[in-house]
């Protein structure tokens, strides 16, 4: 009789397990790996803060900072509205201020500093390791002078220059050895009523790096040395004092937009104001403030401010299931600036909610033309073209969206396109990527993935482990890792008998195991102790089928 799917592979591993058991018994040294890794981490942790010259704990070095910064910069910008492109001169101006300050950095030659203006109303700014820095348009309209802008950017430059992000990750790494800094595709809430918010979930490590709340020492360091960088670059460091005073006043009003922006990761305080005053007294007086120039540079952005305010109100209306009010506010925004891709995309979303799918797809085409570097209209057009029966056009748009920002939604629809065409392996690959998400698309992808792959790889979706009861009887606990109910689960196991011979058997669970559920079965097998169980027993799910 031919073996069940997956059984042959299990048998090969069982034989390897039996022949290698004695060798493992002789060579196993509990804790050796952990001890070796701990020593390695401690040796790597000896580093010098490039800004202050003080010794501090840090595992990750300059190469890691550059790699993570470069990897995360584009998707994180995409996830928060993309770059503000309607006023290229404003971006060049902000970049010129950033470059002037970055030349004062201790690691100016080691980092490729980059500066962008994000198309986001939240008054925020953040820095990634390696010198990748953004300022939101929502913050630019709240500042008063170039000196205040320089204070914000110098503060973020110091966070990158002093490796504050790397230090935070180093601490987390020691506490959680094995953490992987990799691109994890997460999902958004596209196609439900809160889908208008473009702050989609993105790579976990990247979000930690820009949303983390730095410790007081790191904030003081960024304040103090940011002012020193400002002074060295020819700016009046009093701008940093004015900035903190403004922030403290705004925080007293507890304006929600501010509290959700810069204050969330850089909380203001009267203590920081006083520290900045003391630092300013230690620095040469005077320097550039450039208020008139700054106000001229942001003039067009301020003209657009009512449009973005109306757009933000439209988003809130959609979240409250009020599409009529959303359309009225969006019309106000479009009347002021009809070229904005975010506004056009929201129009497409409203049309899609009204089941005007062809019109919505065409509207997203207009959004693509308005900003070819924004992932969202490509994604939405791809979803709609698939629904309209145009898989080729859908694929083109979805693949372009993935190049800009990996999302569960794009992978899910691409998986459906491949599945419909009989391309099972590519479909599985897309569903696997989407299933990493806890979004609705991720759940749908997981269901499709299980349907396609369960027969070939049951152990991928059914977790197993063994335990002994008080009488030494072996029990097998098994759990459904998916959200799809399963039945007819075959649990194959192998063990070494008292003569050292490899034995194997199987038990079948015929009940229904719901998604996320755990159950257990008792085996007709007895072992002497937990060590014997660990070293002489192995179990794996080797067959299963969907319950429905």
Task: For 14-33, write each residue's pLDDT tens digit.
Answer: 333 333 333 332 333 333 33
* pLDDT of residue 535 exceeding 70: yes
Task: For 447-465, write each residue's pLDDT tens digit.
Answer: 999 999 999 999 999 999 9
Give the HSE-up count for residue 228: Cα atoms under 13 Å, Cβ half-sphere: 14
Same fold? 7-17+456-546, 299-423: no
Residues 367, 347: Cα–Cα separation, whole Å:
9
pLDDT at 123: 86
Residue 524 φ then ψ, to 5°: -85, 60
Residues 166, 206: Cα–Cα separation, whole Å:
12
pLDDT at 268: 64
* pLDDT of residue 379 exceeding 70: yes
pLDDT at 24: 32
Residue with tokens 């009020």: 322
Per-residue pLDDT band for 397 (boundaries 50, 70, 90) equals very high
Strands 114-118 vs 132-136: parallel, antiparallel or unpaired: parallel
Residues 285, 312: Cα–Cα separation, whole Å:
41
Cross-strand partners of 479:
463, 518
Cross-strand partners of 375:
none
Strands 537-546 vs 486-496: parallel, antiparallel or unpaired: antiparallel
pLDDT at 66: 78
Q: Residues of 210-224 as b/e, b for ≥16 C-beta within 10 angstroms?
A: bebebeeebbbbbbb
List of residues 6+ apart from 526 with CB closer than 8 A: 471, 472, 473, 474
Q: Which two tokens stand for residue 206?
A: 């990247």
User: What is the number of other CB atoms lying within 10 angstroms of the CB of residue 338?
Assistant: 12
pLDDT (mean) for 189-212: 39
pLDDT at 548: 76
pLDDT at 289: 96
Instruction: Kindly report the CATH number that applies to the domain delimited by 7-17+456-546.
Output: 2.60.40
Per-residue pLDDT band for 188 (boundaries 50, 70, 90) equals very low
Instruction: Select the more confidently predicted residue: 54 or 487.
Output: 487
CATH 1.25.40.10 is right for the domain spanning 299-423: yes
Helices of type H across 80-130: 88-102
* pLDDT of residue 180 exceeding 50: no
pLDDT (mean) for 276-297: 94
Residue with tokens 């020492």: 217
Per-residue pLDDT band for 50 (boundaries 50, 70, 90) equals low
Q: Which two tokens stand for residue 536?
A: 């002489």
Give the HSE-up count for residue 500: Cα atoms under 13 Å, Cβ half-sphere: 6
Instruction: Select the more confidently predicted residue: 244 or 419.
Output: 419
* pLDDT of residue 349 exceeding 70: yes
pLDDT at 217: 73
Per-residue pLDDT band for 175 (boundaries 50, 70, 90) equals very low
pLDDT at 192: 34
pLDDT (mean) for 404-418: 94
Per-residue pLDDT band for 116 (boundaries 50, 70, 90) equals very high
pLDDT at 46: 53
pLDDT (mean) for 72-85: 90
SS3 125: strand
Residues 398, 411: Cα–Cα separation, whole Å:
8
Per-residue pLDDT band for 48 (boundaries 50, 70, 90) equals low
Residues 509, 547: Cα–Cα separation, whole Å:
12
pLDDT at 344: 98
List of residues 6+ apart from 62 with CB closer than 8 A: 107, 110, 111
Instruction: Select the more confidently predicted residue: 246 or 421.
Output: 421
Chain centroid to CA 446: 20
Query: For 90-99, 131-140, 195-204, 337-346, which range has the lowest pLDDT when averaged over its residues?
Result: 195-204
Cross-strand partners of 83:
118
Residues 122, 213: Cα–Cα separation, whole Å:
17
pLDDT at 119: 96
Query: For 86-95, 257-266, 318-327, which range has the lowest pLDDT when averaged over its residues?
Result: 257-266
* pLDDT of residue 111 exceeding 60: yes
Instruction: Select the more confidently predicted residue: 247 or 513.
Output: 513
For the entire predicted model, the pTM comes to 0.76
pLDDT at 10: 37
- Percent of the chain, pLDDT > 90? 56
Which of these, 27, 120, 42, 87, lies nearest to 312 by C-alpha position?
A: 120
pLDDT at 497: 87
Residues 423, 353: Cα–Cα separation, whole Å:
31
pLDDT at 270: 77
> How does the average pLDDT of the chain come out, rounded?
81
Domain ranges of the chain: 7-17+456-546, 58-287, 299-423
Compute CA distances 322 → 100, 194, 313, 463, whole Å: 47, 11, 11, 44
């Amino acid at each position: 009789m031919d073996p069940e799917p997956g059984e042959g592979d299990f048998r090969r591993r069982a034989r390897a397990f039996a022949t290698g058991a004695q060798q493992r018994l002789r060579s196993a040294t509990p804790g050796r790996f952990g001890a070796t890794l701990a020593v390695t981490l401690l040796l790597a942790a000896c580093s010098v803060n490039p800004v202050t010259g003080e010794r501090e704990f840090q595992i990750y070095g300059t190469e890691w900072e550059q790699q993570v910064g470069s990897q995360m910069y584009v998707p994180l910008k995409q996830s928060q509205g993309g770059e503000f492109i309607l006023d290229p001169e404003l971006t060049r101006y902000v970049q010129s201020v950033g470059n002037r300050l970055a030349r004062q950095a201790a690691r100016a030659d080691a980092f490729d500093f980059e500066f962008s203006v994000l198309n986001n109303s939240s008054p925020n700014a953040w820095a990634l390791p390696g010198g990748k820095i953004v300022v939101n348009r929502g913050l630019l309209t709240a500042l008063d002078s170039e000196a205040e802008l320089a204070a914000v950017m110098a503060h973020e430059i110091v966070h990158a220059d002093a490796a504050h992000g790397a230090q935070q990750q180093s601490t987390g790494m020691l506490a959680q050895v094995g953490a992987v800094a990799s691109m994890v595709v997460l999902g958004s809430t596209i196609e439900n009523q809160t889908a208008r918010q473009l702050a989609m979930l993105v790579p976990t490590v990247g979000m930690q790096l820009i949303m983390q709340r730095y410790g007081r020492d790191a904030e003081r360091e960024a304040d103090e040395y940011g002012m020193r960088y400002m002074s060295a670059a020819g700016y009046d460091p009093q701008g940093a004092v004015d900035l903190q005073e403004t922030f403290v006043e705004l925080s007293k009003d507890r304006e929600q937009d501010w509290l959700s922006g810069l204050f969330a990761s850089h909380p203001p305080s009267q203590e920081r104001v006083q520290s900045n005053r003391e630092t300013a007294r230690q620095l040469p007086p005077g320097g550039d403030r450039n208020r008139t120039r700054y106000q001229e540079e942001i003039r067009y952005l301020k003209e657009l401010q009512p449009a973005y305010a109306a757009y933000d109100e439209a988003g809130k209306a959609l979240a409250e299931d009020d599409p009529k009010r959303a359309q009225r506010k969006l019309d106000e925004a479009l009347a002021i600036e009809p070229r904005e891709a975010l506004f056009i995309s929201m129009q497409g979303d409203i049309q899609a909610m009204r089941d005007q799918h062809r019109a919505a797809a065409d509207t997203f085409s207009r959004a693509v033309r308005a900003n070819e570097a924004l992932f969202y209209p490509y994604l939405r057009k791809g979803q709609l073209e698939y629904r309209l029966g145009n898989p080729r056009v859908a694929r083109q748009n979805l693949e372009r969206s993935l190049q800009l920002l990996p999302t569960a939604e794009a992978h899910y629809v691409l998986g459906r396109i491949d599945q419909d065409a009989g391309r099972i392996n590519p479909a599985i690959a897309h569903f696997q990527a989407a299933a990493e998400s806890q979004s609705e698309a991720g759940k749908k992808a997981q269901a499709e993935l299980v349907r396609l792959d369960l027969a070939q790889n049951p152990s991928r979706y059914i977790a197993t482990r063994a335990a002994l009861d008080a009488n030494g009887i072996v029990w097998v606990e098994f759990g459904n890792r998916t959200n799809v109910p399963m039945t007819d689960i075959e649990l194959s196991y192998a063990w070494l008998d008292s003569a050292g011979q490899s034995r194997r058997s199987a038990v079948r669970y015929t009940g229904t195991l719901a998604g996320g559920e755990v159950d257990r079965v008792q085996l007709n097998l007895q072992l002497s102790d937990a060590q014997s169980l660990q070293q002489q027993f192995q179990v794996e799910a080797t067959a299963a089928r969907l319950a429905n």
